[in-house]
Amino acid sequence: MIRINEIKLSLDEEESLLRAKASKILRINEKYIKSLTIFKKSIDARKKDNVHFTYSVDVEIALDENQIVNKCKSSKASIVKPYSYEMPACRRKSEFRPIVVGFGPAGMLAGIILAEAGLKPIILERGKGIDERTRDVNEFWTKARLDEESNVQFGEGGAGTFSDGKLTTGIKSPFIRKVLEELYEAGAPEEILYSSKPHIGTDRLAVVVKNIRKKIEKLGGEVRLECKLEKLICANGFIHGVTYSHRGETTDIQADSVIMAIGHSARDTVEMLYDMGVEIIQKAFSVGARIEHPQSLINKAQYGKFAGHKKLGAADYKLACHGLHERGAYTFCMCPGGTVVAAASEKEGVIVNGMSSLARDGENANSALLVGIEPKDFPSEHPLAGIYYQREIEHRAYELAGGNYKAPAQLVGDFLKGEKSTQLGDVQPTYPIGVTLTSLDECLPEKVSRTMKDAIVKMDEKLNGFKLYDAVLTAPETRSSSSVRILRDEFLQCNIRGVYPCGEGAGYAGGIVSAACDGIKCAHAVLTDEH
């Protein structure tokens, strides 16, 4: 197969022209192209007077591919091998079914691999199925009634289900394509396979999650919902089983392999593991707020005169200001045309996140604006000090906003001036339960507030309008990543043999794709362990 990079199309050109442009680069007649598929598609908006699309395409031709590539002498064309996922040979001899704890991205992909290998995994998910979970989340958003076991953080699909479904990642992994193919097979839009900034959309994620569960079950696995892990059954440093609860009743299962894909908000589970002697260390995380602008402002800043073109859709951004010897501030999980989400999972705590539908057609753009918190900033050296620090910030926000899960908010202009906000401007916050205008200096740690102010001014130099006076900051965002790392060895096991810390909650991932890839890695580790 031949891959051709850097094919450009203007906004007014159709993708049907890709075949002609590919044949021109290869210097062959278009009739010799047997097939053409898009490998990568991106928007090039570096020059605001020439916004266009750039493509990489894979073509099959009815000629000798090596000869044609050598003859055309184009740096854009090269021979590539088609991607094909290869499952490792299963060396596992155990008679017990492997257990996966958690059905977020890491747990789902671990479950798929184990099921495809014929091991019939048992997956325990503390939250409810996607339909009931969605009802519980809507009940929280409309009536402020929080279910601590069924919310934005807990339930079928994990925390990513109520997000933008963003699939961008900074990791390099051979499993990324496998993750994307599984999501597409389960109902995600085809463009996730080639978009440079793929996303599924909150509205489509529910279907995807259901279909992944159905696939695992069809292959002989089980997904047991509303089943909360209570403890590990261990002896002599080895796992022998687990105890879980379901609607007031507890059940023991024998097992010698348990993948702990618990997510970053299962704080009680982390505390249970720590009490059992599992080795856990502090890990840097981030704290900040969601910043909302009019989507039209972001479109104009990014696309200039092409803003609003139907082929471009809602623009996004990614900004960073690195401090001296520290991570500084950065934007994260930017949601074009999206809404700010009430993401609490514990009583009397406020957390915000962001999400977008597939269409990304909301009036506001929102993004996390985060500041790195290092272990040296934690209040103590206790391994779980980061968790307690997060909880303290969340509870402070709850009280500052007056309770009932409203969120503290402030206009960007007032935030920069150090003045308490008293009324909204042109930007209406989308946090569903409602906001209380205040000063975020009273909610966020001083280091976070100070760094955010400096970053907003600097980011405005990169994206005109970022420091818009009426833009709204809603706080706090504390769950962008885990504040602990559950240590594991070269076999991906912790100090209790047979237990595999996995994904974001264990401190080895930071997003849907990286968590899913780690789930595959841990599933491979189970397959290749000869016990």
pLDDT in tens, 205-255: 889 999 999 999 999 999 999 999 999 999 999 999 999 999 999 999 999
- pLDDT-derived band at 323 (thresholds 50, 70, 90) equals low
Q: Across residues 423-452, what is the average pLDDT?
A: 96
Per the document, the length of the chain is 531
Locate 393 and state its tokens.
């910030």
Query: Which residues on neighbouring strands pair with residue 339, listed in sequence order?
Result: 355
Backbone angles phi and psi of 69, in degrees to 5? -65, -40
For the residues of 101-151, what is the DSSP string, one character each?
E--SHHHHHHHHHHHHTT---EEEESS--HHHHHHHHHHHHHH----TTSS
Cα separation, 343 vs 265, whole angstroms:
10
pLDDT recorded at residue 278:
97
pLDDT recorded at residue 325:
55
pLDDT recorded at residue 203:
81
- pLDDT-derived band at 162 (thresholds 50, 70, 90) equals confident
| Strand bridging mode 258-260 / 499-501 | parallel
pTM: 0.94
- Residue carrying the six token digits 């100090």: 495
pLDDT tens readout for residues 362-385: 999 999 999 999 999 999 999 999
CB 175 within 8 Å of CB 183: no
Locate 230 and state its tokens.
């209570």
pLDDT tens readout for residues 90-146: 999 999 999 999 999 999 999 999 999 999 999 999 999 999 999 999 999 999 999
CA atoms within 13 A on the CB side of 298: 27
SS3 label, residue 393: helix
Locate 54 and state its tokens.
């750039």
Locate 141 and state its tokens.
């958003």
pLDDT recorded at residue 167:
84
pLDDT tops 80 at residue 198: yes
**Helix pair 267-275, 385-400: axis angle to 10 deg:** 150
Adjacency order of strands within the sheet including 329-335 = 320-321, 329-335, 364-373, 285-294, 472-477, 407-411, 435-437
pLDDT tens readout for residues 242-278: 999 999 999 999 999 999 999 999 999 999 999 999 9
pLDDT tops 80 at residue 441: yes
pLDDT tops 80 at residue 530: no
Query: Which residues on neighbouring strands pair with residue 369, listed in sequence order?
Result: 289, 331
CB atoms within 10 A of CB 131: 11
pLDDT recorded at residue 326:
63
Locate 385 and state its tokens.
């000090």
